[in-house]
Amino acid sequence: MTDEKQKQRDSVRAPDPSDGPLTTDQGVAVEHTDDSLTVGDRGPTLLEDFHFREKITRFDHERIPERVVHARGAGAYGFFQPYASCADFTRAAFLQDPSLRTPVFVRFSTVQGPRGSADTVRDVRGFATKFYTPEGNYDLVGNNFPVFFIQDGIKFPDFVHAVKPEPHNEIPTGASAHDTLWDFVSLQPETLHTIMWLMSDRAIPRSYRMMQGFGVHTFRFVNAAGHGTFVKFHWKPKLGVHSLVWDEAQEIQGRDPDFNRRDLWDTIEAGQYPEWELGVQLIPEEDEHSFDFDLLDATKIVPEEQVPVRPIGRMVLNRNPDNFFAETEQVAFHTANVVPGIDFTNDPLLQARNFSYLDTQLLRLGGPNFAHIPVNRPVAGVRNNQRDGFHQEQIHTGTNYTPNSLGAGCPVLASTDAGAYRHLTEQVDGQKIRRRSPSFDNHYLQAALFWRSMSDWEQQHIIDAFRFELGKVSAKDVRARTVEQLTLVSADLAKAVAEGVGVHAPEGSQTPTPEPSPALSLENNKGDGSIATRQIAVLVTDGVDDAQVTALKEALTAEGAIVELLAPQDGTVRTAGGGTLPVDRALPTVAAVLYDAVLLPDGAQFSDDPVRRFVRNSYRHGKPIGAYGEAASALEELLPAAVTGPGVNDHGVITAPAGDDGFGTAFAAAVGKHRFWDRPPLA
Ligand code: HDD
């Protein structure tokens, strides 16, 4: 379906290259572009070669500064549609009419690494959405964690300097495991809650399509009567929230650094559109002070058990950009891009952001006219007296000041009834001071809440992550100081981390014991068990039973899974019946870490090293493994501790005799569970 944004994009597409010959920027046709203009065959190049000079100059100027944070990303277009009118609490036009689809552009990102860094690093993921609403652009610039590392934006340069590669040697790329970050963390306890999220598997999402998004700050909805309600925004992925394991994530960094970007692109191209539900936690103004934390503190969540998340609409991403640079690189988000019905709070982090984003775009996009860039252009009309500047794309006519009579007073001012933005009227008074509010003081309670809400395997992964990260820190006192901080979150956690990194965990600290919030555990966010878009590897060799492979592939594909046949070499394999079966990929070009599950069909041979490695790696990373017929015995020999006889076991290993009708269903059910953590170790 073509929406207003797509029509606008169509109107600014570059001419079709097949419509005419190659030209210069001035539209002059070019007859030869492979040799510069010279005197004689070997002679000097001539300055008058305008085509050469233009071509090289344009190339020299192709790069713009990358984002200072969130440089690495991937984006897509789609739409947002509310379930019902939200008029009771907001007048935002795009949240009134359930039949209105608002076009969106979403950019996902990592934070620390540069543009060319790997996708599957341990990091926060950005989740920024631009809604092209009838009342102008609204940007919800969020992350996949609901909390942030610092409470006041004035600390942002300090935090970012600490987490970015170290200044003397620009190491490490795309990683937080280094001295300066942990030095900062150990001295700045407000980071601890978000650090717990960073050490959890939330920091290594399986896919952008399988992560939650959060607006992080408390914002405000304002209804037509001018009444405000505090609001926290949540995106919930339809496919559930799923993560990688750290060992796997590291291997993918080498095998396919574009893992998350490719996944987003490929699924949209395949028509398997990613979808999220937008939910809101609504807090009446009179309840502002009824929590044991401050609503203005971005290092705190409002537990869902305390204030439920109310679903208000859904977002579907259904179109890849046509040009990465023009769209994904040049998109400019800004927390201050709000529309009538959505307002800010005095959260000091948000207030700083409201300054920073516009400021950064001026530099990154080369001047004040970046809203003319197609991906940034609102579908709502723009009429004002802002003029000139670098890269002015429009020819303004008429007067350029208000008030005027010579231009018939245009553009005229709107009333709020006609859609004008009006900031919420609010009484504010107090002393001018530079001091953090004492209501922001408790840094340990919610770090403990997060820890106590995790399942056993999630806690183990957090311990492993702390051990990895601190183990890479060369300054022993930084390790010790961080562990000291952890003793104020959980004695068990501190002890387990201390043992792994060779420092002592002091005893006797008081740790908070908040009631767990089950909504925080990945265990409770797995989705409905759908296997849609799951990548399933079928390992085939000569001798395979092709009838069963084909039947299983069809059944799994019908449920939306992506099934690929992998063989030691590309081309075809010979089947048991003497025919041939086409192969999708050769094993040396892929790896187990790029798949969600593996299937071993009857008749295939598992003596080859690459095949055995594939199966063992899948097992180590908790992935479902299915084997039938003779392959089941081969699997038993390969993973003796894991195969406990025919059928489905708790370890996600499914075996069955050839021709067993229930095998496909049992295997699909295991794939829908994503991972199995409680497995006997490999021999
Ligand atoms: Fe930020 C980019 C999210 C705090 C300053 N931020 C940026 C992006 C996301 C976020 C998703 C990438 C947008 C895109 O895809 O182009 N940032 C957050 C969240 C924060 C946060 C959820 C805390 C709740 N940010 C934050 C602070 C400051 C900034 C406190 C500065 C005071 N952020 C920026 C920036 C960036 C940016 C420097 C870099 C590129 C850009 O804006 O366009 O202005």
pLDDT at 680 over 90: no
pLDDT at 642: 82
pLDDT (0 to 100) of residue 647: 74
Cβ-proximal residues to 615 (8 Å cutoff; 6+ apart), any chain:
539, 592, 598, 600, 606, 625, 635, 638, 639
Query: Considering the chain, what percentage of its residues have pLDDT values greater than 90?
Result: 93
Read off the pLDDT of each residue in 452-470 and give the average, rounded to a whole number: 98
Q: Report pLDDT digits (tens) over 107-116.
A: 999 999 999 9
Judge whether 479 is annotated as a binding position.
Answer: no
Q: In this structure, what token pair is assigned to residue 449?
A: 């809440």
Token digits of residue 199? 């050490």
How far apart CA 478 and CA 370 sit, in angstroms, is 43
The residue-averaged pLDDT of 295-324 equals: 98
**pLDDT band at residue 146, thresholds of 50, 70 and 90?**
very high
443 exposed, middle or buried (CB, 10 Å; 0-12, 13-18, 19+)?
Answer: buried
Q: From the CB of residue 116, how many other CB atoms can be counted at a distance below 10 Å? A: 11
**One of 32, 51, 61, 70 is an active-site residue; which one?**
70
Please tell me if the CB atom of residue 601 comes closer than 6 angstroms to any atom of ligand 1: no
Two structure tokens written together for 445:
């309670």
In this structure, how many other beta carbons lie within 10 angstroms of the beta carbon of residue 301?
Answer: 24
Q: Is the pLDDT of residue 648 over 80?
A: no
Is pLDDT of 162 > 80? Answer: yes
Residue 138 labeled ligand binder: no
Which pLDDT band, with edges at 50, 70 and 90, does 649 fall under? confident
Catalytic residue among 51, 61, 137, 143: 143
pLDDT band at 33 (very low <50, low <70, confident <90, very high): very high
Please state the rounded mean pLDDT for residues 156-185: 98
d(CA 13, CA 327) in angstroms, rounded, equals 12
Is 221 near ligand 1, meaning CB less than 6 Å away? no
CA of 283 relative to ligand 1 center, distance in Å:
25
Identify which of 70, 110, 297, 345 to mutate to test ligand 1's pocket (most ligand atoms within 8 A of the CB).
70
CA dist list (Å): 377 to 380, 382, 512? 9, 9, 49
Ligand 1 geometric centre to CA of 352 (Å): 10
Mean pLDDT of the chain: 96
* Residue 143 a catalytic site member: yes
> Which pLDDT does position 364 carry in this prediction?
97
> Which residue do the tokens 């099934």 mark?
563
* pLDDT, average across residues 153-158: 98
Q: Indicate the angle between helix axes 156-163 and 348-364, nearest 10 degrees.
A: 70
Query: Is 122 marked within a binding site?
Result: no
Cβ–ligand 1 distance for 365 under 6 Å, the answer no
Q: What is the mean pLDDT of residues 135-156?
A: 98
Does ligand 1 have an atom closer than 6 angstroms to the CB of 362? no
Asked whether the ipTM of the predicted complex exceeds the cut of 0.95, the reply is yes
Helices (H), 113-163: 156-163
Residues 6+ apart with CB under 8 A from 361: 332, 334, 370
pLDDT band of 451, cuts 50, 70, 90 = very high
Lowest mean pLDDT among 50-64, 441-455, 667-681: 667-681
Where is 421: in which H helix or E strand? none
The residue behind tokens 């048991």 is: 576
User: How many A from CA of 299 to the centre of ligand 1?
Assistant: 15
> Is ligand 1 within 6 A of the CB of residue 233?
no
User: What is the distance between the alpha carbons of residues 353 and 219, in angstroms, rounded to a whole number?
Assistant: 13
628 known ligand binder: no
pLDDT at 646 over 90: no
pLDDT band of 1, cuts 50, 70, 90? low
% of the chain residues with pLDDT over 70: 100
Q: Does 356 sit in the ligand 1 pocket, CB within 6 Å? A: yes
The pLDDT tens digits of the residues spanning 219-274 come to 999 999 999 999 999 999 999 999 999 999 999 999 999 999 999 999 999 999 99
pLDDT score recorded for residue 487? 97
| Best probe residue, ligand 1, of 356, 358, 370 (max atoms within 8 Å of C-beta) | 356
CA of 215 to the centre of ligand 1 (A): 12
Give the helix/strand (H/E) hosting 141.
Answer: strand 136-143
Per the structure block, which two tokens stand in for 383?
Answer: 């009429």
| Span from the CA of 651 to the centroid of ligand 1 (angstroms) | 41
471: helix, coil or strand?
helix
**534 annotated to bind ligand:** no
Closest atom of ligand 1 to 70 CA is: 12
**HEC assignment per residue over 539-606:** ECCCCECHHHHHHHHHHHHHCCCEEEEEECCCCEEEECCCCEEECCEEHHHCCHHHCCEEEECCCCCC
The confidence score (pLDDT) of residue 644 equals: 74
- Which domains are present in the chain? 38-376 (2.40.180.10), 444-522 (1.20.1370.20), 535-673 (3.40.50.880)
Residue 554: pLDDT above 90?
yes
Check the annotation: does 156 bind a ligand.
Answer: yes
What pLDDT is stored for residue 641 in this prediction?
81
The letter for the amino acid at 319 is R
Local confidence band at 659 (pLDDT 50, 70, 90 cut-offs) = confident
| Per-residue pLDDT band at 683 (split at 50, 70, 90) | confident
> Hey, whose CA ends up nearest to atom 27 of ligand 1?
353
pLDDT band at 522 (very low <50, low <70, confident <90, very high): very high
Taking the model in full, what pTM does it have?
A: 0.97
pLDDT tens digits for 7-19? 999 999 999 999 9
Is residue 601 within 8 Å of residue 573, measured between CB atoms? no
Per-residue pLDDT tens over the stretch 564-616: 999 999 999 999 999 999 999 999 999 999 999 999 999 888 888 889 999 99
Q: Residue 220: CB partners within 8 Å, gap ≥ 6?
A: 228, 229, 230, 231, 342, 343, 344, 345, 424
70 is catalytic: yes
